[in-house]
């Protein structure tokens, strides 16, 4: 029987997402033909210690944790092949297979969507915290803005005021919640936060969340047509039966990692037991050549670098209290609502973003 280890946060601040990934991988283990013995180890507070316990069990497959920090720690501490479903900020390496799109691409869609309808927008404020994930998202945003002729101005996320046509902000979810209350409502023509791409994180903002843009690795409401594994509908139904709620995006990422690992096992020779002691190298070679679509979307690695280039982040906008995909055009559920219009919320601090800009955007 195939033995698989999952190292992911099962306690601590990321536990909700980690447990969702565990549920999803257990569903995959039941779905996989031939049977899988899956054991999960808590990556909090020490992902490397959990890794060492997993390595002693000599699993055929090693699934890394949710969260870029824990995922990077695990990848750096082992030479085993790591199936990275939970870290968008993990450097490509010869022993890492990454399923989600890279952090550097998170704001590309928001910038492209705004530029497509508002080519007069010329300046972007890119606010970020000091973490590696936030720096990577910000660097990608600066490059994407420059490619479209926008002047991007990076700054610390904790600034009291900033200026520009487009606001792009990234940090921890707690940092972003604080930043929204300092910077919104404002004179921005458009505003994007990484946290706005997630269903529940900015729910406490109420009306201030309306119109915000955010990146989403996956939305069940915009399902791809998989050529490998079950459909989105089948996965969502199975997850609901098991967990009693709809699957968040980390669950889809984890399940897709299992589906892709299973496909690589099949293409490499029918199962880990038939690959001898070199099964990691064989699976990596197959993964580098694979181009398929799962319920999570397209999977394709750059064969030279190992970077995920197939999966594309969706850009969503909060419209009438619902996340709707607005970019890319072929996956859009609704047109972008632009420019951002706001009315101050009672009890909120209405602050213009610097140099006397009005609290509502120009026409």
**Predicted pLDDT at 1:** 87
> For helices 132-147 and 68-76, what crossing angle results, to 10°?
110
**Predicted pLDDT at 362:** 26
Residues 16, 54, single domain; the answer is yes
Kindly give the parts of the chain with pLDDT less than 70.
270-278, 341-363
**Predicted pLDDT at 353:** 37
Residues 199, 143, single domain; the answer is yes
pLDDT digits (tens, 9 = 90+) for 314-362: 999 999 999 999 999 999 999 999 998 654 433 434 333 333 332 222 2
Residues 188, 319, single domain; the answer is yes
SS (H, E, C) 6-19: EEECCCCCCHHHHH
pLDDT digits (tens, 9 = 90+) for 20-73: 999 999 999 999 988 899 999 999 999 999 999 999 999 999 999 999 999 999
> Are the CB atoms for 137 and 107 separated by under 8 Å?
yes
**Domain annotation covers residue 339:** no
Whole-angstrom distance, CA of residue 148 vs CA of residue 42: 43
Residues 111, 208, single domain; the answer is yes
> Are the CB atoms for 215 and 106 separated by under 8 Å?
yes
**Domain annotation covers residue 340:** no
Residues 41, 93, single domain; the answer is yes
Q: Which CATH number characterizes residue 15's domain? A: 3.40.50.2300
Q: What are phi and psi of 248, to 5 degrees?
A: -80, 170
Whole-angstrom distance, CA of residue 327 vs CA of residue 155: 26
**Domain annotation covers residue 342:** no
Residues 9, 94, single domain; the answer is yes
Q: How far is CA 59 from CA 37, 176, 199, in A?
A: 9, 38, 34
**Domain annotation covers residue 307:** no
In whole angstroms, what separates CA 124 from the centre of its chain?
22
Nearest to 204 by CA among 169, 167, 178, 185: 178
**Domain annotation covers residue 306:** no
**Domain annotation covers residue 344:** no
**Predicted pLDDT at 355:** 31
Residues 194, 318, single domain; the answer is yes
Residues 185, 204, single domain; the answer is yes
Residues 207, 325, single domain; the answer is yes
What residues make up the domain containing 79? 2-101+224-300
**Predicted pLDDT at 273:** 54
Q: What are phi and psi of 18, to 5 degrees?
A: -65, -45
Whole-angstrom distance, CA of residue 355 vs CA of residue 351: 11
Residues 322, 212, single domain; the answer is yes
Residues 212, 319, single domain; the answer is yes
Count of structural domains within the chain: 2
Residues 158, 290, single domain; the answer is no
**Predicted pLDDT at 28:** 98
Whole-angstrom distance, CA of residue 194 vs CA of residue 191: 10
**Domain annotation covers residue 318:** yes
């Amino acid at each position: 029987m195939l033995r698989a280890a999952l190292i992911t946060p099962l306690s601590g601040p990321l536990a909700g997402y980690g447990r969702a990934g565990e549920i999803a991988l257990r569903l995959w283990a039941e779905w996989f033909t031939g049977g899988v013995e899956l054991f999960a180890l808590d990556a909090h507070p020490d992902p490397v210690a959990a890794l060492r316990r997993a390595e002693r069990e000599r699993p055929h497959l090693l699934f890394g944790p949710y969260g870029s920090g824990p995922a990077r720690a695990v990848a750096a501490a082992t030479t085993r092949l790591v199936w990275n479903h939970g870290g968008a900020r993990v450097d490509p390496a010869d022993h890492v297979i990454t399923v989600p799109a890279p952090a550097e691409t998170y704001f590309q869609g928001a910038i492209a969507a705004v530029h497509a309808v508002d080519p007069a927008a010329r300046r972007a404020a890119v606010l970020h915290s000091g973490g590696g994930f936030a720096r990577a998202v910000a660097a990608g945003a600066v490059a994407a803005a420059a490619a479209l002729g926008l002047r991007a101005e990076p700054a610390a996320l904790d600034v009291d005021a900033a200026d520009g046509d487009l606001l792009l902000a990234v940090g921890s979810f707690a940092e972003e919640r604080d930043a929204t209350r300092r910077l919104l409502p404002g004179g921005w023509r458009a505003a994007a936060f990484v946290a706005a791409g997630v269903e529940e994180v900015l729910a406490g903002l109420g009306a201030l969340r309306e119109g915000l843009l955010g990146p989403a690795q996956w939305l069940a409401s915009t399902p791809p047509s998989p050529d490998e594994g079950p459909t989105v509908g089948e996965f969502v139904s199975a997850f609901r039966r098991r967990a009693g709620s709809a699957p968040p995006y980390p669950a889809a990422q984890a399940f897709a990692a299992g589906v892709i690992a299973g496909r690589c096992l099949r293409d490499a020779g029918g199962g880990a037991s038939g690959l001898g002691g070199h099964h990691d190298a064989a699976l990596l070679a197959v993964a580098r050549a694979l181009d398929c679509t799962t319920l999570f979307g397209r999977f394709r690695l750059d064969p030279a670098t190992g970077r995920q280039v197939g999966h594309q982040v969706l850009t969503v906008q909060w419209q009438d209290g619902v996340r709707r995909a607005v970019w890319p055009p072929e996956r859009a559920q609704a047109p972008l609502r632009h420019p951002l219009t706001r009315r101050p919320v009672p009890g909120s601090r209405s602050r213009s973003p610097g140099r006397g800009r009005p609290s509502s955007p120009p026409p």
